[in-house]
A = this chain, B = another copy of it.
Amino acid sequence: MPSVKPKDVPAPSVQNKCSTCSLSKICIPDHLSGAGLEELEQVLESSILYQNGESIFSAGQQFDRLYAVKSGMVKTVRLDPEGKESIDGFHLPGEVFALDAIYPVKYLSTAYSIGTSTVCSIDFETLEHLASHLPRLQHQIFQLLSQAVHKTHEFQVELSAEQKLAGFILDLSRRFKMRGYSDTRMNLIMPRRDIANHLKMVPETVSRLFKALHQQGVISIDRTDLAILNTSKLTAIAVGDYSIRRANRNDHDDVVKSA
C-alpha cells in the first residue's frame, strides 16, 4: 500500500471523521477534489466504541457496511464445518475488515472487540455508487481487495509451529510499524488461546515456543508484554533458515550447523 502523500494531510474539517484509518485512505484518494470528498465524508460513519467481547457484526447477517479499526483490536471469528471457532484475523488500528462479505452479501465471520476498541464504517452500496464515477476510488478498492486475496494466499504454505509463531510476531510488528507504533515492543492483549487458535495450534505449544524464543534471546516476553530483541534471527526462524529446536539439541555438542 503506497501511502503516497506528497502534500501533508491537513484538511481540518475532514480530520475528526476517520482520518487515521484505511477507510479514509480508500475514500480520499490523492486526487479527489472537494465535491466528491464531501459526499464521502457524509457517508463515513464516525467512531463507535465497543467493550471487550462485544460483537460488531455477526456471521450470517446481511452485509451492508465495510469496517475499519480506529483504536484497540478486533478479531474476526468463523465457525468451521465441525462447529469449532476459528480466528481468521486480528485487526489493528487503521485496518479494514469484512472484505470477504461482499460476494455472498452476508458476513462470514463474527467480529469481536478485544479490550475496548473504536471502529468506523461505511455503507458499501454508497461506496460502490461513488466509485462508479470516481475512477481512482474504484481503483483503490480493487487494490484493497486484490491485496486481501494475496494476503490469504500466502498463509497457505505449511510451516512448522515455530515458523508460524515467528511469522506471526513479525507480521504484527510490521503492521504496528505501518501505523506509526513501535515495531519492537508491543502489547499482546489477546489471550494465548486466541493466538494458538489463529495459528492452528494448541496453547501448550505457543507457551513452549515463547519460552524457547525467550531463552534464545530472540524475544523477551512477560505476560502480554512482548519485545523483539533480535529481528534478524526471528526472521531467519520465520523463513526456516534457523531452528530453535536444532539449536537446543546442538547445545550438547558445541557444533552449530550453518545452513
A interface residues, Cβ below 8 angstroms from B: 78, 80-82, 86, 88, 99-104, 108, 128-129, 131-133, 135, 138-139, 141-150, 152-153, 155-158, 200, 239-240
Q: What are 22 A-B residue pairs whose CB atoms fall within 8 Å in the complex?
A: A82-B239, A82-B240, A88-B153, A88-B156, A99-B146, A99-B149, A103-B142, A103-B147, A108-B150, A128-B138, A131-B138, A132-B132, A132-B133, A132-B135, A132-B138, A138-B138, A141-B142, A145-B145, A145-B146, A145-B149, A149-B149, A152-B152
Q: Please state the number of chain copies in the assembly.
A: 2
The secondary-structure label for the interface of chain A is helix
Nearest CB in chain B: distance from A180 CB, A: 22
Q: Smallest Cβ distance from A240 to chain B, in angstroms? A: 5
With A132-B138, A239-B82 already in contact, the answer to whether A152 and B146 are too (CB < 8 A) is no
Q: Which of A146, A155, A158 has the most CB of B within 10 A?
A: A146
The 9 nearest A-B residue pairs measured at CB: A102-B146, A152-B152, A103-B146, A145-B145, A158-B200, A103-B147, A81-B239, A132-B135, A100-B150
